[in-house]
Chain A
Amino acid sequence: MSSNEAYEEIELIYSFQQGERKALHQVYALYQRPLCFFTEQLITDTMAAEDIVSECFINAFQKKEDFPSLGQLKSFLFTAAKNSALNYLKAQKRHDDIHHSIERAADRFSIDVENAYIKTEVLQLISLEIEKLPPQCRQVVRLSVVDGKTAPEIAAELHMAYQTVLNQKAKGVALLRTALIKNELLSLPMLVYMLAILQR
């Protein structure tokens, strides 16, 4: 971590404690998707996962002063999501009258939590790589990889010339390549996969 990044992280948690709106939004932007993904892995219900995540942020924002570091805040958010997911599953089980014993389910649940967490971390790494791209390039890459859109569709959606879309895709490929070669970023299979899709 460069000294500017370290400074920004310390300053972020400091402003978070002060309740500055920008800091709240940054924390939210940083963890919203990872928390949704993590929770959804546990309860396999997208809407319910989003509701749980809303509650986690509300709880964290209500005791802003309790988090001396970004790490502790992150840990609180994930633990809160895990606990809510477990409560949700218990309520569901009563409804659905599932036959497993509660104890065995609890064992299974703690393994699921670990698995979901590792998966989430890998996905966040991938999304951080995508967000590092320059704005226009990032938009094209997201539409192409995430939404599976073709170059003409992207051109229409972004009011761009078809050639510009191709250029931006090429730029994305070049940037990701450079990142791979310089080994500055943690490159991931998704990047390789993206290269393949983008070059089609």
Chain B
Amino acid sequence: MNENNHYIAGLIGKYLDDSLNEEEHSVLTEWINASDNNRDLFAAITDRQQLSANVKRFYAYDTDRISRNISAQIPEFGLPATAPVHRIHFLRKWGWAAAAAFLIGGSVSLWVLHKKTSPAIIAVNTVNIAPGSQGAILTLADGRQVVLDSMTSGVVAHQSGSSVVLSNGKIVYDPAGEGATDIQYNKMTTPKGRQFQVTLPDGTKVWLNAASSIRYPTAFIGKERRVEVSGEVCFEVVKDANKPFLVNINNNKAAIEVLGTLFNVNAYENERTIQTTLLSGSVRVVVPSPTHTAGVTLKPGQQAMISSTIGARTPEEKITVLNDPEIEKIMAWKNGLFNFEGANLEEVMRQLERWYNIDVVYENGIPNIQFMGEMSRQIPLTDLLEILRRTEVDFRVEGRKLIVLNK
């Protein structure tokens, strides 16, 4: 019952699929020839009739009886689950109160600006997909991974020279010890359906939207403070004139040089542009290329858009500066809101994909609909769809797939 047997089982599968590479083939052959037992076992497993009988047996156990036995002894196991759950998905459920409050009213509004099509109305099965919540994975320098959520608090890990403390759903680095000499990197990753806040060792605050990451050293040693990000990240950088703060985006597609400031970076790979929006202070956005580097310095309230399209364009041409970006819309996620002001259906769906951990499919074409208004990010998907449906688009949910219907 060891790793090697697990490996051999995998090889047997690959053998039957005819997908063994040369090395795997010789490992398996060696294993088969090692003993009569192995040879017989291999023959038994790969025999179609036996395999067919084994699959039937595998599915024939009285699992209801077993779960009744368990619940008799383990009260928290509760009543037997009627249908086994096979995929591991569980987002924390938000109370119905939030949804009800939202449905009853409040400051929420949503309109259709215009529509050119009339999508079909089809009955929908009521699968309740919960909204995202606080959480992330912290990968330590030694490769250990720690799950973080708002429920736990206290010291999460010790690393050379600093301890990692979780409090109120935020992670903070406490550089208590001296002697942090070698640079160690940590990485904070949020999957779809999670957002998180981290305070870096220099006190800089970082908010991660869903499906995002930041890699940073556990102590900022040297002349610069360097971090790497992907997805959507908001920064409140602590001023330190002697140590510029540098943000590298999506593997050096762009970079930001910071001097004490509050700004938001949206660099999702499936969005058309990388957007850096400055709220206060000063940043310089830089686009590197093999020949030279182009850059632009932003004033508060400005946004730099870097087009991600690959072409023969110069770095200068890739940067556009907007003087009046919609700050409220850009920062909505950080305030727990969706802001669909002027967004088309596709933009809205990409946000839902990341927050509800779903995949969106368009059954026949993409309805041309524009939205206005904002709403809470803390309602279950069903309720949100119920509201979107008033705009005369319709949906069907299959597992974690959201199918958009257009007629």
Chain A positions within 8 Å of B, measured between CB atoms, are: 3-12, 14-15, 19, 21-26, 28-29, 32-33, 36-37, 40, 46, 49-51, 53-54, 57-58, 61-62, 75, 78-79, 82, 111, 113-115, 117-119, 121-123, 125-128, 131, 134-135, 142, 145-148, 180, 183, 186-190, 192-193
The residues of A that contact B6 with a CB separation of less than 8 Å are 121
Digit string of B129-157 for contact with A (CB within 8 Å is 1, else 0)?
00000010100000001010000000000
Do A61 and B13 form a contact, CB below 8 Å, given A118-B5, A145-B55, A189-B48? Answer: no
Do A62 and B145 form a contact, CB below 8 Å, given A40-B57, A114-B5, A186-B14? Answer: no
Question: A112: nearest residue on chain B (CB-CB)?
Answer: B37
Any A CB within 8 A of the CB of B67: yes
B72 → A minimal CB distance (Å): 9
How many of chain B's residues touch chain A, expressed as a range? 35 or more
Question: A38: nearest residue on chain B (CB-CB)?
Answer: B1
Question: A70: nearest residue on chain B (CB-CB)?
Answer: B88
Do A11 and B147 form a contact, CB below 8 Å, given A114-B1, A186-B10? Answer: yes
The residues of A that contact B62 with a CB separation of less than 8 Å are 50
A33 near B67 with CB under 8 A, answer no
B145 near A127 with CB under 8 A, answer no
The residues of A that contact B167 with a CB separation of less than 8 Å are none
Q: Which of A33, A62, A128 contacts B61 (CB 8 A)?
A: A33
Bound CA–CA A3/B76 (angstroms): 30
Q: Which of B51, B78, B86, B357 contacts A4 (CB 8 A)?
A: B357
For the complex, would chain A's binding face be called helix, strand, loop or mixed by DSSP majority? helix
A29 near B81 with CB under 8 A, answer yes
B74 near A62 with CB under 8 A, answer yes
The residues of B that contact A29 with a CB separation of less than 8 Å are 81, 84-86
Bound CA–CA A180/B58 (angstroms): 23
Q: 6 A-B pairs, CB-CB below 8 angstroms?
A: A10-B145, A24-B77, A36-B66, A121-B5, A188-B17, A193-B51
Digit string of B54-83 for contact with A (CB within 8 Å is 1, else 0)?
111111011101110110011011100100
The residues of A that contact B81 with a CB separation of less than 8 Å are 25, 28-29
Any A CB within 8 A of the CB of B90: yes
Do A119 and B1 form a contact, CB below 8 Å, given A3-B189, A24-B76? Answer: no
A33 near B59 with CB under 8 A, answer yes
B70 near A119 with CB under 8 A, answer no
The residues of A that contact B66 with a CB separation of less than 8 Å are 32, 36, 50, 53-54, 57
B220 → A minimal CB distance (Å): 26
Bound CA–CA A128/B86 (angstroms): 8
Question: A125: nearest residue on chain B (CB-CB)?
Answer: B13
Any A CB within 8 A of the CB of B9: yes
Digit string of B296-332 for contact with A (CB within 8 Å is 1, else 0)?
0000000000000000000000000000000000000
A7 near B41 with CB under 8 A, answer no
A18 → B minimal CB distance (Å): 8
Bound CA–CA A37/B58 (angstroms): 6
Q: Top 9 closest A-B pairs, CB basis?
A: A121-B9, A54-B69, A29-B84, A8-B88, A189-B16, A36-B61, A131-B86, A187-B17, A61-B74
Q: Which of B257-303 contact A (CB under 8 A)?
A: none
Bound CA–CA A73/B12 (angstroms): 25
B191 near A3 with CB under 8 A, answer yes
Q: Which of B188-231 contact A (CB under 8 A)?
A: 189, 191-192
The residues of A that contact B78 with a CB separation of less than 8 Å are 21
